[in-house]
Structure 1
Amino acid sequence: MSLKTKRVLVLAADYFEESELIYAVYRLKEEEIEVVVAGVTAANVKGKNGMVAFPVDASVEDIDTTTFDAVVIPGGFAPDLLRRSTRVLDVVREMDAAGKPVATVCHGGWVTISAGIVSGRKATSVSAIKDDMVNAGATYVDEAVVVDGNLITSRVPADMGPWMKAVIAALEEA
């Protein structure tokens, strides 16, 4: 199935985990999916390991979720900055309410916690935020990728392959 008609929103902020953001963006583009990287502002973002600038296409304030098929939230420490944005949380809630894939890896789960969409669902994350996931009402599962309806979660950079396979499969099914 061709994914050329699909659009995926990738949320980014300073201190993102380079491997998670870059791999997700280019793996989606490899499938000819249109990728829009959105930040809290439209300024380029810096990675946590020294990458000085990754291009941002738009501010999250300008995002219309009805034009996207999924949202991807890479980890690192960027999710702590992203979850402070009311618009980021609204975007995640809107995508979830529409049944569109919401995919997180590593600390990306912080955004779904703050958006209030993990309660009663199975999910995984980096072990450092396991307690946060559980306290938010998620059933924590220590697996490379956990799919619960439209919520697709993963743990760490080593799990990127299975995570992106699950994201692409969800886009093919949509």
Structure 2
Amino acid sequence: MKALIISADNFEDTELLYPFYRLIEEGFQVDIASLVRGKIKGKHGYTVPVNLSLEEVNPEEYDLLLLPGGKAPETLRKNARVLEIVRAFYSAGKPIGAICHGPQILISAGLLKGKRATSYKSVAKELLEAGAKYEDKEVVAEGNIVTSRMPSDLPYFMKTLLSVIKK
């Protein structure tokens, strides 16, 4: 099984690192993609190696997509290639996990209208404006999309995301 994490500088460190290691524990090969290869730096100073540029990503090769939060989604949601990748996962019915500000990418991809979702509290209004049914709870699973609010929700987020992929 293969998982893809898409992020950029200023990601929320725990929201990338916790799922990264948890997925490896479950036997996934995990790739991290960003605007360019090299390294990205989190809000709290952690650096993570990026082994793929967005242009190198082939969504067909992956079973799961993860979109960590922090400030990175604000940058990524403006990138046409990111939106194309996210839509490809969605169309293929593959699980997509988005936490904190990660759902902003799903909003920009046009995937949340009429769907239940959660996010960090400062994104809630934007979710509602996009036509999503906002729920203020640890994790919300709607079809192949799993959303969560913040770092303290990570255990619930990963448990639910992993249960979706095992179906």
TM-score (norm 2): 0.98
Equivalent positions of 1:13-24 (< 5 A) are 13-24=8-19
Query: Is 1:28 matched with 2:8?
Result: no
Q: CA deviation at 1:172?
A: 1.0
The runs of at least 4 aligned residues of structure 1 exceeding 3 Å deviation read: none
Hey, what's the Cα distance between the residues in 1 that align with 2:15 and 2:39?
Answer: 16
Cα RMSD of the aligned pairs, angstroms, is 0.7
Hey, what's the Cα distance between the residues in 1 that align with 2:116 and 2:72?
Answer: 23
Query: What residue in structure 1 maps to residue 7 of structure 2?
Result: 12
Structure 2 residue runs without a partner (length 5+): none
Hey, what's the Cα distance between the residues in 2 that align with 1:105 and 1:95?
Answer: 16
The percent of aligned pairs where both chains have the same amino acid is 40
Query: What residue in structure 1 maps to residue 160 of structure 2?
Result: 166
Q: CA deviation at 1:11?
A: 0.6
1:87 to 73, 81, 90: 81
Q: CA deviation at 1:43?
A: 2.4
Equivalent positions of 1:93-172 (< 5 A) are 93-172=87-166
Hey, what's the Cα distance between the residues in 2 that align with 1:40 and 1:136?
Answer: 25
Equivalent positions of 1:50-89 (< 5 A) are 50-51=45-46, 53-89=47-83
Hey, what's the Cα distance between the residues in 2 that align with 1:43 and 1:119?
Answer: 35
Structure 1 residue runs without a partner (length 5+): 1-5
Partner AA of 1:136 in structure 2: A
Question: In proportion to residue count, which structure has more strand?
Answer: 2
Partner AA of 1:148 in structure 2: E
Hey, what's the Cα distance between the residues in 2 that align with 1:50 and 1:168?
Answer: 28
* Aligned length in residues: 167
Hey, what's the Cα distance between the residues in 1 that align with 2:26 and 2:107?
Answer: 29
